A and B are shown apart, each in its own frame.
Chain A
Amino acid sequence: MSRRPLLLGLAGAGLFVAALDAYVVVTLLPAMTGDVGITIENFEQATPIVTGFLAGYVVAMPLLGAYSDARGRIPVYVACLAAFALGSVVTATSGLWSFAQLPWMVAGRFLQGLGGGGLVPLSLALAADLYRGPSRAVALGSVAGLQEAGSVLGPIYGATVTAAAGGLGGWRFVFWLNIALSLLCGAGLLAAGRRQDAMTPAGSVIDWPSALLLGLGLGALVFALYPDDPEHRAVNALFVPGGAVAVVLLGAYAWRQVRKLEPLIPRDLLRSPAFFGTTAANVLIGAALIVTLVDVPIVGRLVFNLEALDSGLLLTQFLIGVPVGAVAGGLIASRIGNRITAIAGMAVSAAAFLQMSSWTANELDLHAGPLRQADLALAVCGLGFGLVIAPLTAGVLALTRGQSHGLATSLVVLARTMGMLVGLSTLTAFGLYRFHQILGTPVLNDTDLRERVKHLERLVGAAFLQEYREIFVIAAALCAAALLVIALSLRPAHKSGGI
């Protein structure tokens, strides 16, 4: 067997495992938060468990590609896997000791994100090192596809593994499993890639000032968007100063990168409306996509009263829709062009979100023929996202030379992850605020404690339903905004690759 597919396969497997963990917690959050002392009335405190991972992911992604130029792809990749595994250990042990509570869990998730985020540029760079010519695009596409697939499969993976490993630590088993998987991938890469690093040129070092600016900027952004008192306000009390600090720090980071990366990102690309349009569209798509990945399982748990596994399985139709849409998107774009295809994809997802905004508590009982209406809406929503992913990625690749495909694909993933981070933080803050507004302070006069709690559950379920209906409307608006950006910024080409 050739060494190249083995190396790429192992790197892709590690990346896939790390990408799974981005949203693996969505269906596990109630159990995880309970074990670190967070109760339903303080659920906003759970937000950093998801955003912590994304922040680490975004910080590491733009930094470690260049670092691996100096240190070698595989050693840096294995170091990232080790960081990811260490973060998994920290996360898995949360709640086991009095000192290992929420901050411990968030630290573990951040460390996981740092390691996992580093794997994206490293896998892409490794693919670019290993392959030349037409094979390179296929290799890069495979790596990007694994990252995307891991992200969207995460919630259902977490629920399934937890259900299967009920006697082995429940949710903790998901994170313990990461250690074995990381060891397998890391050991395989070290064994198969001994000669690889000798070929890697030296030269670059890690840009610590940029890392600091990006890390602190994202930290300030997540802090500014953290809902510290959702009962009384939608944003943090320090939203304005925190947001200002974030803008300054992230602006400084961008300024450094524009200057520093000019040789890497062609000037033409930076000035291209299509590039900015695609990046902006990906940010918006990331924000809308996170609504489905995170909020649909939560609706399943809190509104439809599904078990963890069933709430994860609620995403199945969405997950089927995405790859079907991706394949269809590629085919359609080759006939009618990337712009129209991407616009159609966003229109389809927006329409699906609008349908979801009318969901009721008994939505799962409503059928259209043999299919549940909710499943249909989710499948259509996934189809729309699938339709748009391929044309946008192909469009960015068409703007860059072959040797920059890795960078370009990495930027697409980065933009989408950034959109997910900001979208999740913002919509969680909004959602919790609206939840408290809708629920108010109900007075329960049932005669028995059990009955009062049941009564409250019904009220909470109704409030959550209304909250998520509004979030689905916002998601539809995000899709519409992405549609508009695509329509305004991309050229009406007639073939795939020319946006």
Chain B
Amino acid sequence: MNTPYAIRVHDLVYQVDGKPILKGVPFHACSGEIVGIMGASGSGKTTLLKCIAGLLRPTSGEIWIEEINIVPLSERAKMPLRLRLGIVFQYAALFDFLTVYENIAFGLERHRKLPRSAIDRVVQERLAWVGLEGTESLYPSQLSGGMRKRVGLARALALDPRMVLFDEPTSGLDPANAYQIDRLIRRLNRELGLTAVVVSHDVNSLFRTTDRIVVLDEGQVVAEGTPEAIRQSDHPKIQAFLRMASAETLDE
């Protein structure tokens, strides 16, 4: 079945210890779209992302990755679906006992029957995409935060996923590095047609990268629209969030 939706989420509830983190969240991302999920810390945005990635099992609701609802699936049944999704973790989550090369080749060696020369070529190509040629033999501990995130992205892209989920791609980065990551997301979307879901509390980053933004607050969607529409929104919580995010000095 050909669906314009890459990801569809219906009425997603996630509870820990009876405490609701997500309270019936709807969400969708069309093929080739960049969707931002904005919200303060604790709003449930990373939980939503991890549910979409199949890393957390929601209490109830549906999550459709293209034509398959992943919620009832077992861990093993979800494995092939994960090849369609790339995930870039907040702190990159690189395997710290492996080199940059081994990190990027990790999925390829296990899921693609490729000769070594072809794996070499893919690793070089992905490193070139993220602007990190020549770092193959370094270990994650020898990289800066921004470089680690870019290696994380290269690793996520190694298996040619159709969609990529970004968890706080710019957090902890200086403005120059953050800008570079944002441009990279945009470029990959334009050139490869990747669907991207970007979870962030970095308002500026979301405004310049995404086609549409979903605002989460206390586990609920409070607004949804283009970056411009969100900027213009008169919802008090969004206004307060934007004001705080753009405040340059503290009002004593």
Co-assembled chains A and B? no
Give chain B's interface residues, CB within 8 Å of chain A.
Answer: none
